[in-house]
Amino acid sequence: MSLTVVGTMAFDDIETPFGKSDRIIGGSATFIAWAASNFVKPINQVSVVGGDFPQTELDALKARGVALEGVQIKKDEKSFFWSGRYHMDMNTRDTLVTELNVLADFAPHIPDSYQSSEFLILGNLTPQVQLDVIKQMKQRPKLIVMDTMNFWMEVALDDLKKVLKEVDVLLINDSEARQLSGEFSLVKAAKKVLSMGPRYLIIKKGEHGALLFHENHVFFAPALPLEDVFDPTGAGDTFAGGFIGHLAKTRDISFENMKTAIIVGSAMASFCVESSAYSVSAKSRRKTLPAASNSSYSW
């Protein structure tokens, strides 16, 4: 069992109604790898960073069993940078700044040692890069999971639709599902999105849980109600990492096991939003699973 993770490794600036943190480590592949490394090793990371990305963060990932052969380091360039401001509900946000930097001309290269990966997750990234990675895999992975965001629906919809035809599972949030489908009802939206390619669709609703759609079935997974939400950044990627990590560990890609994988992803994400945001490794080191409970939780 091996897992390849593709995505960004980046710096984030986060503002919430309760505080502000400057240039913390973020990126879809960073969060996914941290979360998934609780379940499987090795994790084959594919990404690109600038010379400004701290070696300590790379070392910390390596210590978790994350292979970095597929991570390009462009010494004279700057890492991808994103800045956002969360609204009072801590569930919606505005993007303030997006600086592509090294991401602008990123051409991923899949090392030979990654080729046998049974599981592939395409974190939020340019659809063209996501498609490029799929094409470089000599043998199609057993399961391809993909995340994306509204930004790509606006600037690269045609490319995005090409990737959708190649993946098994799409992970998006409720507003993205509405935007991609043009439907307000999430049930109608799901039907349209499933007709675009993926056999499974997971709609993330933050504190309201997540929905898994497949053929004519739907599963509604609750989220752990939290007393304090400190920083939701990376929650979706942590969810994705827990989801694919559980599937890769159990090597069972049935609908039934995906239900469990969503519960695992939700539990991981609950730790992510509660933790302090000063560094992703500090956040992620705390991400161990709580005692199993299918029905109720204690405060």
Residue numbers at the binding site for a second copy (CB under 8 A): 88, 184-188, 191, 205, 208-209, 211, 216-229, 255, 259, 295-299
Q: Which is nearer to a second copy, 206 or 236 (CB)?
A: 206
Q: Which is nearer to a second copy, 139 or 294 (CB)?
A: 294
Length of the chain as a residue count: 299
CB of 45 to a second copy, least distance (A): 34
Residue 288 CB coordination number (10 Å):
9
Strand 217-221 versus strand 19-26 pairing type: unpaired
Q: Which is nearer to a second copy, 184 or 288 (CB)?
A: 184
Q: Which is nearer to a second copy, 120 or 177 (CB)?
A: 177
CB of 171 to a second copy, least distance (A): 17
Strand 200-204 versus strand 210-214 pairing type: antiparallel
CB of 132 to a second copy, least distance (A): 35
Which of 193, 173, 198, 170 has its CA nearest to residue 181?
A: 193
Report cis status (omega within 30 of 0) of the bond before 42: yes
**In three state form, how does the secondary structure of 17-48 look?**
CCEEEEEEEECHHHHHHHHHCCCCCCEEEEEE
CB of 179 to a second copy, least distance (A): 15
Q: Which is nearer to a second copy, 134 or 273 (CB)?
A: 273
Report DSSP state, residue 1. -
Report DSSP state, residue 139. S
CB of 256 to a second copy, least distance (A): 9
